[in-house]
Amino acid sequence: MTPTPSHRRSNGAKPQQILTSLLGDFWYWREEHIPSAALVDLLGEFGITSAGARTAMRRLAARGLLTVERNGRTTAYGIPPRTVAVIVEHAYRMLTFGTSTPQWDGMWTVVAFSVPEQERALRTALRARLRLLGFAALYDGVWVTPHDRSEAAAETLRELGVTTATVLRSTAVWHNPEASGPGEAFDLHSLARRYRRFADHYEPLLEQVDAGRIGPAEALRTRTELGAEWREFQDLDPNLPAELLPAAWARERAQRAFIRIYDRLGPLAELRFREVLGRTAPELAELVSRHDLDSVTELLHTLAERPQGDTPFERATEARRLTEAERASS
């Protein structure tokens, strides 16, 4: 069925995620603050109530992800200056993710560990941290990745106090052909299905865009949801070397659909952002600007200082990823 406004699928994005995505997409290089009433209207485009929108703003501000400016009875929110560089870096990774595969020297990073059953919380924490580093479980206490994560894995073991463990860099000499080899530790089959579903769902939108059947409001919603869903793949996909990928790997098709739709809907989505913002703050509407790969690449080269992992945005992102990894590991 061709997607229409009434057949959009929900990706589970919450008000805080939607708001940070909107500001990251259209307000990422601005020092000006946007009145809360305008942000309420923008989140209303996604069916979020005024109360839900204002709660999202307060919580993001409390976490240091938004700055607050008050002028009389008017409250406005903006992006912290140090967060701008992080947004640019994250946008670049999102727009380039899946365009290539890493080079591989045939070596595996192997973490072998033994954690007693009674220390279940420690074992869950270790598995979650290894998962975030791109490892997968070959056997219960043996985790592997084709990327060189030896230093990071050793640091994780030290931080958690796991002493009965060893980190190795090794080639795979032999494995039972009837059992799982290192490459089969990664669940690529379910990931491939997700990529195919993504492409199947979004590709028909191109026909609607070409036919002029996507209006600005739907473009803003769809582009934001599309980006949020694509970002999830960055956590799910181990980004394996080409030698370890199955034939007809579905990521290329999904990535192509993402980029084409994201770019094509950009002008309409920007127009809708301007329209909604213009109702409350017409002087700010002309400052709205979408990003694309060219603009983000240019901005990335102008950054005097690259993100160092210590901004509220980075800490919040890492905390979310760790929580999801712990849920998957328990």
Quick check: helix, strand or coil at residue 209? Answer: helix
* Cα-Cα end-to-end distance for the chain: 37
DSSP 24-62: HHHSTT--SPEEHHHHHHHHHTTT--HHHHHHHHHHHHH
> What is the rounded distance in angstroms from the CA atom of residue 5 to the CA atom of residue 219?
10
Both structure tokens of 1: 């069925």
Residue among 295, 316, 313 nearest 92 (CA):
295
Pairing of strands 108-113, 165-170: antiparallel
Contact between 146 and 96 under an 8 Å Cβ cutoff? The reply is no
> What is the rounded distance in angstroms from the CA atom of residue 281 to the CA atom of residue 301?
31
**Residue scoring higher pLDDT (318 or 31):** 31
pLDDT tier at 2, thresholds 50, 70, 90 = very low
| Tokens 């996507």, residue located | 214
> What is the rounded distance in angstroms from the CA atom of residue 257 to the CA atom of residue 271?
22
User: Using one digit for the tens of pLDDT, what is the confidence trace for 222-278?
Assistant: 999 999 999 999 989 999 999 999 888 999 999 999 999 999 999 999 999 999 999
Contact between 202 and 1 under an 8 Å Cβ cutoff? The reply is no
pLDDT tier at 177, thresholds 50, 70, 90 = low
Helices 216-236 + 15-26 axis angle, to 10: 100
Alpha carbon 243 to its chain's center: 25
pLDDT tier at 293, thresholds 50, 70, 90 = confident
**Residue scoring higher pLDDT (26 or 212):** 26
**Residue scoring higher pLDDT (157 or 210):** 157
User: Using one digit for the tens of pLDDT, what is the confidence trace for 111-124?
Assistant: 999 999 889 999 99
Enter the CATH code of domain 108-170: 3.30.70.1070
The domain limits of the chain are: 108-170
Specify burial of residue 194 (Cβ count, 10 A radius: 0-12, 13-18, 19+). Answer: middle
Buried b (16+ CB within 10 A) or exposed e, 230-251: bbebeeebbbbeeebbeeebbb
Quick check: helix, strand or coil at residue 156? Answer: helix
Residues 6+ apart with CB under 8 A from 107: 146, 148, 169, 170, 171
Specify burial of residue 41 (Cβ count, 10 A radius: 0-12, 13-18, 19+). Answer: middle
Q: What is the mean pLDDT of residues 92-118?
A: 93
Query: Is the sign of the CA dihedral 91, 96, 98, 104 positive or negative?
Result: negative
Q: What is the mean pLDDT of residues 20-45?
A: 93
